[in-house]
Amino acid sequence: MTTMQMATERQSGTAGTGRATVGAALLVGPVLMAGYGAVRLAGRALGDYGPGVWWSLAHLLFLAGVLAFVPVFLGLRRLAGERGGRRVAVDVAAGVGLLGTVAVVVQAVIDLAAGFVAADKEAMSEIFDRVQGVPGVMPLVYTVVPMLFWLGLLALVTLLAFLRRDLVRAWAPVLVLAGTVLMAVSLDLLPAGALCLGVALMPVRRGLSA
């Protein structure tokens, strides 16, 4: 086997591993977010959603779900190929989404830490008040920058619905938008919103594994 053949095989193996990682993330991300919503609803139904097991489990699922979207953003970005200005638009959308991901991760970590430290809901509320009272924290971690996660995902899927119609269906942006709106309206609708994301991204996963 020549050196060139060995290099080609290594590249093919790396590409295959990358596709598998993205494919898994496309499934795992929405599932974990739906799990967060389900655990949250269960904890609230039992009247025990505050510091404790339900809160910690829900936010661990949420944190893992958000982190799973890192390879999703990177993988969707690679789907655009080298297409000049169109590729720049895809890169910007992916970058915006990743920036939002960082903010959401920080938010989830703060929520987890508050849940571990606080003895009860009142103490946890006081911790949140202190953290959110720090100048710049609210827009950076809770209100403005986290929205970039959803805006970046929506923009990326919309662009790819035009650029890669073989992988991203025309109705995918509609489902991503619907899922985002559902989650914004009420956290109780998280499972339904996550289901919308999962259905929107499923054809991409199938295409990558084909």
The Cα 202–Cα 175 span in angstroms is 11
210 pLDDT higher than 80: no
pLDDT band at 5 (very low <50, low <70, confident <90, very high): very low
What percentage of the chain has pLDDT greater than the value 70?
89
User: Cβ neighbours of residue 89 under 8 Å, at least 6 residues apart?
Assistant: 159
On whether the CB atoms of residues 36 and 89 are closer than 8 A, the answer is no
Cβ-Cβ contacts under 8 Å for 49 (sequence gap 6 or more):
40, 43, 55, 58
User: Is the model's pLDDT at 10 over the cut of 60?
Assistant: no
pLDDT band at 113; cut points 50, 70, 90: very high
**pLDDT of the residue at 16:** 57
Q: Is the model's pLDDT at 204 over the cut of 70?
A: yes
Q: What are the tens digits of pLDDT across the range 131-157?
A: 999 999 999 999 999 999 999 999 999
How far apart CA 137 and CA 139 sit, in angstroms, is: 6
pLDDT at 131: 95
Q: Cα(109)–Cα(142) distance, rounded to whole angstroms?
A: 12
The pLDDT value given to residue 98: 97
Instruction: Quote the pLDDT of residue 4.
Output: 40
Q: Average pLDDT over the chain, rounded to whole?
A: 89
Residue that the structure tokens 């890669």 belong to: 164
pLDDT at position 82: 64
In sequence order, the 6+-apart residues with CB closer than 8 A to the CB of 126 are 118
Q: Residue 81 has what pLDDT?
A: 72
Q: What pLDDT shows up at residue 20?
A: 85
pLDDT tens per residue, range 53-93: 999 999 999 999 999 999 999 999 988 776 667 788 999 99
pLDDT at position 17 over 90 = no
User: Is the predicted pLDDT of residue 9 greater than 50, yes or no?
Assistant: no
Could you tell me the pTM of the whole model?
A: 0.87
Cα separations (Å) of 114 from 91, 101, 130, 138, 144? 35, 20, 11, 16, 21
Q: Are 176 and 203 in contact (CB under 8 A)?
A: no
